[in-house]
């Protein structure tokens, strides 16, 4: 699962979650940003592609390290 969160003063404004597939806002400002980013198909598809870039390439490495240390 890929999660990209945006914070300001320890308050979470907006979050992208790969299972949901879109941005979700938690404050009034975060909701406006989420709506703007969700209406931009190129930015939304780029965020969805980040799961393959970060998660799928690194899971085997971290998983094998976790098994050897346990």
pLDDT digits (tens, 9 = 90+) for 3-60: 999 999 999 999 999 899 999 999 999 999 999 999 999 999 999 888 888 777 777 7
For residue 41, the domain's CATH number is 3.10.320.10
Is the pLDDT assigned to residue 63 strictly greater than 60? yes
pLDDT given at position 60:
74
Round to whole Å and give the CA distance between 30 and 3. 15
- pTM (whole model) above 0.85: no
Provide the number of structural domains found in the chain. Answer: 1
Sheet harboring 22-25: ordered strands across? 3-8, 11-17, 22-25
Beta strands in the chain (DSSP E): 3-8, 11-17, 22-25
pLDDT given at position 36:
96
Q: Which domain range does residue 12 map to? A: 3-68
Is the pLDDT assigned to residue 70 strictly greater than 60? no
Question: Do the beta carbons of residue 34 and residue 25 sit within 8 Å?
Answer: yes
């Amino acid at each position: 699962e890929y999660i990209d969160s945006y914070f300001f003063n320890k308050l979470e404004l907006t979050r992208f979650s790969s299972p949901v597939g879109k941005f979700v806002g938690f404050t009034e400002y975060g909701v406006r940003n989420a709506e703007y980013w969700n209406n931009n198909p190129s930015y939304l598809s780029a965020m969805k592609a980040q799961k393959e870039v970060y998660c799928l390439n690194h899971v085997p490495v971290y998983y094998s390290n976790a098994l050897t240390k346990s």
